[in-house]
Amino acid sequence: MARSMLIISRQAPWSGPAAREALDIALAGGAFELPLGLLFLDDGVFQLAGAQVPAAIEQKDVTANLQALPMFGVEALYACARSLAERGLDPTALSLPVELLGDDELRALINRYDQVITI
């Protein structure tokens, strides 16, 4: 049985390579059929914001890329409710269907996985 891994993505999409790296780990792990979860925390929730025009700064379309996660077998997608609220993001207007979790649920989530990495 492959060990499960939770990837915590907590950087904004265009602040540096971190958001892309977290997504690449998720896509690669999915391709290898690892049981994966992906949690958006802190500024990471900005990856889920709608109406992004990354072409304006010659970047890849993270919104489109994120939609591919279920196709790569990564279906356990979560976001921190507090991070969304702090940033004024409407949980009903996100570009990806994610399960919203409160602080207690986040602690329980981490405990469900064999491995965890925060990027």
Partner 1 sequence: MATLHVLSHSPFGDGRFASCLRLLGEGDALLLCGDAVYALQPASTPYASLERLGASTPVYALAEDHAARGGGAPGAGVTLVDYAAFVELCCRYERVNSWL
Partner 2 sequence: MSELRVNQRPIALDADGYLVDLDDWSEAVAEALAEREGLALEAEHWEILHLLRGFYREYQLSPANRALVRYVAAQLGPDKGNSLHLNRLFKGSPAKLAARLAGLPKPTNCL
Residues that bind partner 1 (CB under 8 A): 8, 10, 18, 41-43, 103, 106-108, 110-111, 113-119
Neighbours of 15 (CB within 10 A): 10
Q: How far is the CB of 28 from partner 1 (least distance, A)?
A: 16
Nearer to partner 1, 75 or 114 (CB): 114
61 makes contact, choosing from partner 1, partner 2, none, with CB < 5 to 8 Å by partner type, with partner 2
CB burial of residue 14 (10 Å; 0-12, 13-18, 19+)? middle
Build a one-symbol-per-residue string for 24-63: x at contacts with partner 2 by CB under 8 A, - elsewhere.
Answer: x--xx-xx-x--------------------------xx--
3-state SS assignment for residue 35 = coil
The full 3-state SS of 2-36, as one line of letters, equals CCCEEEEECCCCCCCCHHHHHHHHHHHHHHCCCCE
How many residues form the binding site for partner 2 (CB under 8 A)? 15
